[in-house]
Each structure stands twice: as structure tokens, then as C-alpha cells.
């Protein structure tokens, strides 16, 4: 069990910003799936990552991969899957390890100082090194961005919360292919798990932490609900 600390030691988790999901010519695009919502957040992802690097916040990228042999496909372990998900798996292997499809998109690619977590299921914590690495850096707060808001981002956020981390979701640096699902996750996080804010507000929180006013800033954000509401337009 993590011990409570009043200090702010955050890490940024960039979830699954990979060619297979977000890029033209990637698996999702080739399957005819809508990727425009994903592509629209790339500038905000870039801004958020730059903010975190500026403030020496460790950056973790998750990379969802599958083996070319198919040994780790969901169809190997599940007898009941939603039809659409099963059909995608059967039509095309997505983000096979070692391929361009699986790589982080060039616009937000990691540096040598960042950390890459290979995952094979929705959560950044399932069967990965994530928690070991976070604990080694004394991280107590997780900032989430990336895709898909209602699937891998939300699953990872919930797992992080249940492991004792404070959680923050950056509303303008995450996206879902289904806008209704995106809004539902935003509401879930605000009501039950942590804070929702935009990248610009995250930068203000970082500055407040640098100047010793982190807790005051958090209290202000919690009290002013308008700061938590994402701009859906």
C-alpha cells in the first residue's frame, strides 16, 4: 500500500499514441476506422509533453503490441468478444511488435530520457514494469493522456487509482473514436477518481508546485468546477 505524501511527485503516462491507431496508412485507417479524433489531439500532446519535460516530470509511453505469431491475441483467451473487436482482430493484426504500425507517432516520439512500457492488454499496469518504475522514482501522481479515452486510458487510470496513485486526466490531450464514450469517461473521472483539466491548467499546476503552492492550487481547481469541464467544441 502506498503511503500518503502531501508533496507532488507526478509522472506523465502517454497511452498508445501509435501509428497503427493514429496515422494514415496504419491499421485503424486501413480498416476504415475513424482516426481524425485521434489526430486532432497531437498538438496538445506535444504541448503537454513539453510542459512535463520542462518541469522534469518523467514521461512514460505505453506501446500496445501483439506478436506476429498471434499467441497473445484476445481471440486466444476469450470465447466471448464484441463482434466488432473480434472482426478487427481477424481482419488485420494491429501494432505487431517491431513494425512501423507499433511505433510511437513521430510528432510525439520519445527521447532517450523517456520510458517505454510494452503492454499487451488495455491497462498500463497489467503484466508490465510500470509500477516498479514509478515506485523507483517515488511518483505519487499520474497524469494521463493519449488514446483511446474510454478504453486503454480509462482502464489504466482506474488501475493507477486503485494502486494508490492520485490521478489527473488531461481532457484536451486525450481522444476517443466515439465522442459519447469520451464524455462518459470525463464524467467518471471527475465524479469518482481524480481531477480533469486541460494542458494549460496542468502547466499552471506545475508552476504552483515549483513555487510551493501545489496544495492551494489543487484546492482552487476542485472548488472551481468550470476549470474541470473540458471544452467539447
Pick 203 or 92 by higher pLDDT: 203
- Give pLDDT, residue 232: 43
User: At residue 112, what are phi and psi to the nearest 5 degrees?
Assistant: -65, -20
Confidence of residue 227 (pLDDT cuts 50, 70, 90): very low
State percent of the chain over pLDDT 90.
70
Residue length, the chain? 233
Confidence of residue 220 (pLDDT cuts 50, 70, 90): confident
- CATH superfamily of this structure's domain 10-227: Isochorismatase-like (3.40.50.850)
State percent of the chain over pLDDT 70.
82
Pick 46 or 227 by higher pLDDT: 46
Pick 103 or 2 by higher pLDDT: 103
Q: Is the pLDDT of residue 82 over 50?
A: yes
Q: Is the pLDDT of residue 169 over 60?
A: yes
Kindly report the average pLDDT of the chain as a whole number: 87
Question: Domain limits of the chain?
Answer: 10-227
Question: Region 18-38: what's the mean pLDDT?
Answer: 94
Pick 58 or 8 by higher pLDDT: 58
- Give pLDDT, residue 219: 79
Q: Is the pLDDT of residue 233 over 50?
A: no
Please name the residues in contact with 109: beta carbons below 8 A apart, sequence gap of 6 or more. 103
Confidence of residue 221 (pLDDT cuts 50, 70, 90): confident
Q: Provide the 8-state DSSP code for 2.
A: P
Q: How do beta strands 59-64 and 115-119 pair?
A: parallel
User: At residue 64, what are phi and psi to the nearest 5 degrees?
Assistant: -80, 120
Residue given cell 494549460 in the structure block: 200
- Other CB atoms closer than 10 Å to residue 109's CB: what's the count? 12
Q: What is the pLDDT of residues 184-197, one digit of tens each?
A: 999 999 999 999 99
- Give pLDDT, residue 80: 62
Beta carbons of 3 and 10 less than 8 angstroms apart: no
Amino acid at each position: 500500500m502506498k503511503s500518503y505524501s502531501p508533496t507532488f511527485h507526478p509522472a506523465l503516462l502517454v497511452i498508445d499514441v501509435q501509428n497503427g491507431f493514429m496515422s494514415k496508412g496504419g491499421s485503424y485507417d486501413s480498416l476504415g476506422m475513424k482516426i481524425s479524433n485521434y489526430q486532432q489531439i497531437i498538438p496538445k500532446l506535444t504541448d503537454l509533453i513539453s510542459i512535463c519535460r520542462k518541469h522534469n516530470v518523467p514521461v512514460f509511453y505505453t506501446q500496445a503490441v501483439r506478436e506476429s505469431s498471434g499467441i497473445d491475441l484476445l481471440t486466444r483467451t476469450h470465447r466471448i468478444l464484441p463482434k466488432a473487436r473480434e472482426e478487427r482482430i481477424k481482419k488485420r493484426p494491429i501494432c505487431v511488435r517491431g513494425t512501423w504500425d507499433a511505433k510511437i507517432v513521430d510528432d510525439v516520439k520519445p527521447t532517450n530520457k523517456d520510458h517505454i512500457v510494452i503492454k499487451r492488454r488495455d491497462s498500463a499496469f497489467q503484466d508490465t514494469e510500470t509500477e516498479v518504475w514509478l515506485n523507483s522514482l517515488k511518483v505519487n501522481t499520474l497524469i494521463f493522456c493519449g488514446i483511446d479515452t474510454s478504453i486503454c486510458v480509462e482502464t489504466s487510470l482506474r488501475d493507477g487509482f486503485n494502486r494508490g496513485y492520485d490521478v489527473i486526466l488531461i481532457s484536451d490531450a486525450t481522444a476517443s473514436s466515439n465522442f459519447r464514450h469520451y464524455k462518459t469517461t470525463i464524467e467518471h473521472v471527475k465524479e469518482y477518481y481524480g481531477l480533469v483539466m486541460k494542458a494549460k491548467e496542468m502547466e499552471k499546476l506545475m508552476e504552483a508546485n515549483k513555487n510551493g503552492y501545489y496544495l492551494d492550487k489543487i484546492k482552487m481547481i476542485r472548488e472551481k468546477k468550470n476549470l474541470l469541464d473540458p471544452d467539447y467544441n
